[in-house]
Amino acid sequence: MLRTKREKKMRVAVWVTGLLVVVSGREREEPQSERRKQAVARLKWMRANQAEHLRLSTREETAEEVAANAARSARASRFRLPRGVPAGRVEFSEGEFKSAGRQLFYERRHKLVLCAVPKVACTELIKLVYRLSGDPRWRRDPHFRGDSPIFRKLSLAEANEMMNDDSWTKVIFLRDPLSRLASAYLDKFVQSPKRGIHANYGIRLFGESLSFEAFARRVASNNTDRASHDGLHLGTNLHWKPQRYICSFEKFAHLYHFVGRYENIREHAESLLRALGLWDDFGASGWAPPLGKNHTPPASRVPRDSIFARSSSHKTGSASKYADLYAPPGLEAAVRAAYSMDYDLFDAIGAHPADPPTSGRAWARRRADPRHRRLCHLDSRAFGADYCGA
């Protein structure tokens, strides 16, 4: 039975009234809290990352990419790990071990020791340690796990034996301090606070929000007081602390079998795993997030599924972004001078961005000269009388 015109008008009136109530209610809503804004921003960032992953994983490789992958693998196959313990046994002091032990990870099945340097792909490298150990949960964020194979859980005696035992392969990746400092700023001062991961490091550490120039100049200051976040010293935040200090690398560098560079991390990681005979099982595939059930990967997906394949595709844009941060006159020179101890060590062992991976063996000659023991200049007691003298 057809409704009367009056009934139809009443229904329309009720619908319009309800719509107006909803709209007016939305207008009266409180503005989003800062926490809610961060959650929304993080969700957008995650969706953008997923979209980029899907685009890369379902695109066929070009002929140029296929050739580049083959050339990279050929270069990576040439590296050989040095063996034979160089002269000069060194050991952690008790106080030193408390600090160095937080960044050193071990994997017993393949006798691997990793010095994980913050802002040098340390998250993925620690995941590699978990994967090598056979842990089925290796994809999880390694920074929030209670079962981490970290040196500080070992006894001091066992840690010293591992470091001086040549059958344990010691590994570290290094990075240009300029780009590492810029990356730390963008991550900890800009991007992570927006995504709601943690508070702005500027406010948290320095008491104010800082521009990159202001932050870099404070880091490059001559302050050596550990109670202050200015300057570079033993108390400096790990994310921009000189790499020479992390894991007491200066002291143990001559014992490291493999020193790679972040700038070539895809190729250098392949060099390491090929030298250990582990590339096919642990590096060549399995690193890309799984695709959805409605997406079929192309036959040539494997190179993009290898370790660090995805991260390498983003470095060109990052380099130009970092260059812009160092535009203020004199800023780059000031930061480079502040991190001179890192550049000095890179020169001594031949660890430059354009070089193939190396070892720390060449440091054995340099470390014999007390003038090069920068750790001792900072705190001779912390690093032990055997290394720094009485």
Output the CA–CA distances (angstroms, integers) from residue 143 to 100, 139, 188, in the order listed. Answer: 16, 11, 15
pLDDT tens, 251-305? Answer: 999 999 999 999 999 999 999 999 999 999 998 888 876 655 555 555 554 456 7
Q: Confidence class of residue 17 from pLDDT cuts 50, 70 and 90?
A: low
Question: Which residue, 84, 78, 85, 56, is CA-closest to 271?
Answer: 78
From residue 381, give the alpha-carbon distance in Å to each of 92, 93, 363.
12, 9, 22
Q: Give the up-direction half-sphere exposure of residue 85: CA atoms within 13 A in the CB hemisphere.
A: 13
Q: What is the pLDDT of residue 198?
A: 56
| pLDDT at residue number 87 | 67
Please state the rounded mean pLDDT for residues 156-175.
Answer: 96
Share of the chain above pLDDT 70, in %: 75
**How confident is the model over 79-87, as a mean pLDDT?**
82
pLDDT on residue 316: 47
Question: Residue 297 falls within a domain, yes or no?
Answer: no
Give domain status of residue 56, yes or no.
Answer: no
**Would you list the DSSP string of 216-276?**
HHHHTS----TTSSSSSSTTS-TTTS-TTTGGGHHHHGGG-SEEEEGGGHHHHHHHHHHHT
Residue 152 lies in a domain: yes
Q: Is it the case that residue 43 has pLDDT exceeding 60?
A: yes
Q: Tens of pLDDT along 365-389? A: 887 777 778 888 777 777 877 888 7
Give me the number of domains the chain comprises: 1
Give the confidence band of 340 by pLDDT, cuts at 50, 70, 90.
very high
3-state SS assignment for residue 44: helix
Share the mean pLDDT of the chain: 83
Residue 177: is its pLDDT beyond 80? yes
pLDDT at 248: 95
Residue 202 burial (CB count, 10 A)? 20
DSSP secondary structure string for all residues of 180-218 = HHHHHHIIIIIIHHHTTSS--HIIIIISS---HHHHHHH
Residue 168 resides in a domain: yes
Residue 305 lies in a domain: no
Give the C-alpha separation, 50 to 60, whole Å.
Answer: 18
| pLDDT of amino acid 101 | 93
36 — pLDDT class (breaks 50, 70, 90): low
Residues 180-236: pLDDT tens digits? Answer: 999 999 988 888 666 555 567 778 888 888 999 999 999 999 988 888 899 998 889
What's the domain range around 264?
A: 77-282+314-388
Q: Is residue 51 part of a domain?
A: no
| Beta carbons within 10 angstroms of residue 269's beta carbon | 25
SS3 106: strand
Q: What is the mean pLDDT of residues 306-318?
A: 66
What was the pLDDT predicted at 1?
Answer: 46
pTM summary value: 0.81
Which amino acid, 350?
Answer: G
- DSSP 8-state code for residue 112: E
Answer yes or no: is 71 within a domain. Answer: no
Helix axes 331-338, 340-349, angle to 10 degrees: 60
Supply the pLDDT for residue 329.
Answer: 96
Q: Answer yes or no: is 86 within a domain.
A: yes
